[in-house]
Chain A
Amino acid sequence: MHGYANPARFLRIARPATAWSLGAGLALVSISVLAGLFITPPDYVQGDSARIMYVHVPSAWLGMAGWSGLAVAALAQLVWRHPLATIAGRAIAPVGAMFAFICLVTGSIWGRPTWGTWWEWDGRLTSMLILFFLYLGYIGLASAERERGTEGRMAALFALVGLINLPIIHFSVKWWRTLHQGESVSFIGGGSRIANEMEWPLHLATIGFALLFAAIVLMRMRAELATVRAEARLRRRSAE
């Protein structure tokens, strides 16, 4: 892992990885969107509005996965003090925030025809909104520390403390049985309560959006690394 934390080695892998993840992500998202809209059957209770699931559920999972990635980067930053971990954290945060926001907006759009309301202070909805605010807090803290020229340790600590919200989001539908439906897809023990013809596009969409998430993070990391390198070259030349 330390070997890949070398910026030059990272860039050798990141350049082809950006193109591959972007291409594969666009292909998988296109197939899953077409399948979600035109191939899968409507839900027997919710009808066609259940098709929102194919964009809502992947964005919810990626919003949460993004914070997990942020926490891993924060841990690497605090333990090994590697600048690439700091750059990774800064690159992940806006993408995770965007997916958390997509989850909130598409959930709200789904809620109107299904529950008869755009918003409810339900456990799942509220904890997801808190995740979005945590992302905003991290972005603000990280950019303030960057402007001050510090290592960004406060933002890293904030990312680790914010991890507490992830199990709250996951178990919220069990702890507070209010409006949001319970778990339909389970990765452990094969306990999914969703028909196969509706499940495969959901997994395809999740993989597709995850690849786009990765492509955006790689692009943002490459942009920041290029800026840092250009600044370092200019500094070296002015010192000569």
Chain B
Amino acid sequence: MNPWHFVIAAYAFALGSTGLLLILSWRAMRRAEAQDEAVKRR
């Protein structure tokens, strides 16, 4: 049983999940703030 397979799987899952939530939250924030600005300017 090669331990590196387990190490890589654990790091990929941890970093992938954090990165995904980071990107989704960033996009949601940018979209909401742009929408707020658009409503303000209207």
Contact = CB atoms under 8 A, between A and B. Distances in A.
Interface residues of B, number: 26
Contacts of A47: 3
B7 A105 contact: no
A197 interface: no
Contact of B10 (A56, A95, A229): A56
**Which of B1, B3, B26 counts the most chain A CB atoms within 10 A?**
B3
B10 to A, nearest CB: 4
28 contacts: A18-B29, A29-B18, A33-B15, A48-B7, A52-B7, A52-B11, A95-B21, A98-B17, A102-B17, A110-B6, A110-B10, A112-B6, A113-B1, A209-B18, A219-B29, A220-B25, A220-B29, A222-B32, A223-B28, A223-B31, A223-B32, A224-B32, A226-B33, A226-B36, A229-B36, A230-B32, A233-B36, A233-B40
Contacts of B13: 102, 105-106, 109
A47 to B, nearest CB: 6
Interface string A97-111: 010011001100110
Given A47-B3, A223-B32, 14 more contacts: A33-B11, A37-B11, A48-B4, A49-B7, A52-B10, A52-B11, A101-B17, A102-B18, A105-B10, A110-B6, A223-B25, A223-B29, A229-B36, A230-B36
* B interface: dominant SS: helix
A222 B6 contact: no
B28 to A, nearest CB: 5
Contact of B14 (A106, A113, A215, A230): A106
